[in-house]
Structure 1
Amino acid sequence: MKEHISPIAERSDPHTWVELHADYLYAYAITRINDEEQVRDLVQETFLAALERLDRFEGKSSERTWLTAILKNKIIDVYRKRSRPPFMQIVGEHEEEMEFFDPQMNNWKKEHWPQALGVEDKDPLHDKELNRILKLCMQKLPALWLAIFTMKHMDEESTTTICTELKVSDTNLWVIIHRAKVNLRSCLQKNWLD
């Protein structure tokens, strides 16, 4: 009995995938993983997985969207592996907040007051430098924080999906997002404004 292959899958040509989609998939993954060797491996694994599943490609999305979805799942697997203990330990809530907040003022400590980042001028050179510094700051986050922040703010995943995929509670997710933002802001102020 011959296996049914969708007409869309029959028209898809895996021989063109590397030429048409490799650069896009690499750029997508490198902003989320920041490890060139691992990203190259993930792109290759994406092509292999797509080849194995080609008979199930129904054409409800473009070929690139389909390949990106496969890559996205592989990236989530990386996040899941990176965020396993010992990295899953969450810093005591008050330890870190005391570094940034003054309980007597019920506000930021003066040295941590938010400052304008100077990105309002739309200078492309500034944007490039800011992106470089932001990337460096993001890499300083603990693995779980980086995974959650990336999934929430770059991939726009739902809270439910993030909690399910990374096995964190809703409360922990929001605490981690808050802490990641505070740390990123502090890092940007230190490295971008100084």
Structure 2
Amino acid sequence: MPDESPANPELDPATWVDAYGDALYKFAYFRVNNTALAEDLVQETFLAAIKGKDRFSGKASVKTWLTGILKNKVIDYYRKKNRTQSMQETAAFFEREEADLFSEDGSWDYNNPNVPKDWNPAQVEKMDRKEFMQQFYFCADKLPDKIRTVFIMREVDGVKSDEICAQLEITPQNLWTILHRARMALRQCLEKNFFSN
């Protein structure tokens, strides 16, 4: 009886859930902030990988290949959602986050205690700690889906701006505005929940 095991044991789908399931789930959950959806996206990734296993070139690791498939599944999810979701959620979020932060001329209102302040070297040093990343994820989870997705694609995954605009069907101006406001909201959340302690 011929040996039917793959030449590369990593390409055996029977090993994928144990070897990569947790990492893929964490990747998906951070991007969609929904347990059931993250699980579905990982499952779809495994199914797509099984169907496309013959096209795996071996230039990257199996984990990198699976993560790439999952990244595309996340983008497809947000592209579809973006077509049906208005900008009301985004606009309402920004109105809440930016209320009273600016003076009439558009500059920071430094009389408001919520205006971001310069971080001192001791605070910057704390950013290398595990606790900082836990708080960062906590703060990122508070962002609306679309804003979190754009921020993570650009700042965590390193996707180029023009690719984000094409994939999520937004303009470069929308991208810049979303990134700016996401950074501002994250900074405020980190100052309030991490650096103030």
| RMSD between superposed Cα atoms in Å | 2.7
**In structure 1, C-alpha distance between the alignment counterparts of 2:116 and 2:105, rounded to whole Å:** 15
> In the TM superposition, what whole-angstrom CA distance separates every residue of 1:20-57 from its partner, at most 9, and x where no partner exists?
22122122222222222222221111111100111211
The alpha-carbon distance between structure 1 residues 83 and 99, as it changes in their structure 2 partners (threshold 3 A), is farther
**Structure 1 position 190, deviation (Å):** 2.1
Question: Partners of 2:78 and 2:134 in 1: how far apart?
Answer: 21
| Counterpart residue number, 1:173 | 175
The within-5 A match list for 1:10-159 is 11=8, 12-89=11-88, 91=91, 99-103=100-104, 106-110=107-111, 111=113, 112-116=115-119, 118-121=123-126, 124=129, 127-128=130-131, 130-159=132-161
Q: With structure 1 as the length reference, what TM-score do the two structures score?
A: 0.79
Contact residue 31 and residue 152 of structure 2 kept, 8 A? yes
Name the CA shift for 1:121/1:177 in 2 (closer, same or farther; >3 Å): closer
Change (3 A) 1:119 1:81: farther
Aligned partners of 1:134 and 1:188 also within 8 Å: yes
> How big is each residue's C-alpha offset from its partner over 1:115-150, in whole Å with a ceiling of 9 and x where there is no partner?
5383514674xx32x333322322222222111111
The unaligned stretches of length 5 or more in structure 2 are: 1-5
- What's the offset of the Cα at 1:10? 5.7
Query: Counterpart of 2:79 in structure 1: which amino acid?
Result: R
Q: AA paired with 1:114?
A: K
Contact 2:100 2:109 in 1 (8 A): no
Distance, in Å, in 1 between the alignment partners of 2:106 and 2:44 is 52
Percent identical: 41
**CA–CA distance in structure 2, aligned partners of residues 45 and 103 of structure 1:** 49
One-letter amino acid matched to 2:59: K
1:147-192 CA-to-partner distances (Å, cap 9, x unmatched) read 1111101111000110011110001100111111111112222222
The CA distance in 1 between the partners of 2:55 and 2:174, in whole Å, is 37
Shift of 1:108: 4.3
Which blocks of at least 5 consecutive residues in structure 1 are unaligned? 1-8
Could you tell me how far 1:97 is from its partner in structure 2? 5.3
Contact 2:32 2:145 survives alignment (8 Å): no
Read off the aligned partner of 1:49 and give its amino acid letter. Answer: A
Q: Does the residue aligned with 2:100 lie in a helix, a strand or coil? A: helix
Give the aligned residue type for 2:91. Answer: V
Give the secondary structure class of the aligned counterpart of 1:76: helix
